[in-house]
Chains A and B, each alone.
Chain A
Amino acid sequence: MAEECNDFSIMANKPLPLSQEILAQFNLSLATGSCVPGPPRRRLGSISTHRSSKEQPKDQPLHRPMLLRAMTGPSSDSSFLSPNMSNSHISFSKRFSFAGWHQGGRVSFSGLYLPEPVQEIYKENTYRTGPEEGSRFSASRTQQITQATLDRYLEAVCYSPDSCSQLCQMLSDLVLSKLKDVNPPRYKLVCQVVVGQSGKQGVRVASRSLLNVDTDSYTSAVFQNQSLFAVAIVHGVYFE
């Protein structure tokens, strides 16, 4: 570790306020006899720095000091930090001797990463009670998309008991994914696909819903060939 923690003079001239607190706190804990491994102790009072041939970019102020405690190995490759860095600092290829010195990172006493504080999202009222003009659920467009999807994917398919259950589910997901692209905001979708073998039996599919007529709608599409039939029902429901 000796070769890693050097050149403290770079930073020692300008100690960050926080570092003093942490150092003081840590030294206090030292004094009270907390178990700290011996060798790193002498470095504990140091401010972290880096060893690099490149200059540190000016737009990266050092946030936190690193307190070394038995750092195991040099992070000799800069890729160590790249996942933790923002895209704007991808070129910042420094070699750090300890973990955690990255843009905006927080480090505990032991040098381990602290989880980033959870950013609280404050939701505000939009005061919107209905869908916007022009962004309602379009039954005709949905019907076209659904019908086209059914036609395209079932054109040459033969009914087989083994594969048709997966086919059915796959179709349902497919229709849903296509509709999600054109789905207006604040609309939920329910898509149901029924695939059956074409035989001599009669079958009836019926659907009824308790919805808001102004904002909600549904469409259905039917496909039939020699061996199978398929019915797709899609409901679009507005939510606030």
Chain B
Amino acid sequence: MDDSHSVEETAFVVDEVSSIVKESIEGAIGANFYQQNRVNVWTSNVVEQCLSQLSKLGKPFKYIVTCIIMQKNGAGLQSASSCFWDNTTDGREHHYSTSTETVWLGDHCLSNLGVKPVHSVSQ
């Protein structure tokens, strides 16, 4: 592939990605209560919407999106991620939101692999 992309084109723009993630979550779930039978649909919707919006950005990136939805019950949840990539071109972003039922959205990673960055949005 062409290696002569400018830095701006191939940089990981945190703001854009963050807004996309936020909108996807709000659009797919909104302020709904946790319902077991609908959780599958919600996660699929969130992730798909995220990914489609990100791919529309048209950047030479690969993306990874992860979504975690948990019911608010007093239990604790931790999430961590480690990445073996190129720090100059790759990055991650995460978004977390709660409602009366916890909808927990985690990390979003973006990596540029050569000219094909990997971007992972994990919520």
Q: Could you tell me which A residues sit within 8 Å of B by CB distance?
A: 159, 161, 164-165, 167-169, 171-173, 175-176, 179-180, 183, 188-212, 216, 218, 233, 235, 237-240
A173 and B82 within 8 A (CB): yes
A190 and B85 within 8 A (CB): yes
A240 and B1 within 8 A (CB): yes
- Smallest Cβ-Cβ distance to A208: which chain B residue: B47
The CA-CA distance from A238 to B68 in the complex, in Å, is 25
Q: Which of B51, B69, B80, B114 has the most CB of A within 10 A?
A: B80
B82 and A175 within 8 A (CB): yes
Asked whether B10 is an interface residue with its Cβ less than 8 Å from the other chain, the reply is no
A164 and B76 within 8 A (CB): yes
20 A-B pairs with CB atoms under 8 Å apart are A164-B76, A172-B80, A179-B84, A180-B84, A188-B86, A189-B83, A189-B85, A190-B64, A190-B83, A190-B84, A192-B80, A193-B79, A194-B106, A196-B75, A211-B62, A211-B63, A211-B118, A212-B62, A216-B62, A237-B113
- Smallest Cβ-Cβ distance to B79: which chain A residue: A194
A147 to chain B, nearest CB (A): 17
**Given A180-B84, A237-B118, residue A207 in contact with residue B64 (CB < 8 A):** yes
Known pairs A194-B77, A206-B47; list 10 more (Cβ under 8 Å). A161-B76, A194-B79, A195-B78, A199-B73, A204-B68, A207-B47, A207-B122, A208-B66, A235-B120, A239-B116
Top 10 nearest A-B pairs (CB, nearest first) are: A239-B113, A199-B75, A201-B73, A206-B43, A240-B114, A192-B81, A189-B84, A197-B75, A201-B71, A168-B78
B73 and A200 within 8 A (CB): yes
Asked whether B109 is an interface residue with its Cβ less than 8 Å from the other chain, the reply is yes
- Smallest Cβ-Cβ distance to A174: which chain B residue: B82
- Smallest Cβ-Cβ distance to B102: which chain A residue: A201
When distances are taken between beta carbons in the complex, the residues of chain A under 8 Å from B74 are 199, 201
Partner of A233, one of B66, B69, B77: B66
- Smallest Cβ-Cβ distance to A203: which chain B residue: B70
Asked whether B32 is an interface residue with its Cβ less than 8 Å from the other chain, the reply is no
When distances are taken between beta carbons in the complex, the residues of chain B under 8 Å from A235 are 64, 118, 120
Asked whether B4 is an interface residue with its Cβ less than 8 Å from the other chain, the reply is no
**Given A239-B113, A239-B114, residue A203 in contact with residue B77 (CB < 8 A):** yes
When distances are taken between beta carbons in the complex, the residues of chain B under 8 Å from A188 are 83-86, 90, 111, 113, 118
B63 and A195 within 8 A (CB): no
B82 and A206 within 8 A (CB): no
When distances are taken between beta carbons in the complex, the residues of chain A under 8 Å from B116 are 212, 239-240
When distances are taken between beta carbons in the complex, the residues of chain B under 8 Å from A200 are 73
The CA-CA distance from A175 to B118 in the complex, in Å, is 19
When distances are taken between beta carbons in the complex, the residues of chain A under 8 Å from B66 are 192, 205-208, 233
**Given A197-B76, A233-B66, A237-B118, residue A191 in contact with residue B83 (CB < 8 A):** yes
Partner of A196, one of B64, B77, B80, B119: B77
Residues 81-123 of B at the A interface (beta carbon under 8 Å): 81-86, 90, 106-107, 109, 111, 113-116, 118-120, 122
Asked whether B11 is an interface residue with its Cβ less than 8 Å from the other chain, the reply is no
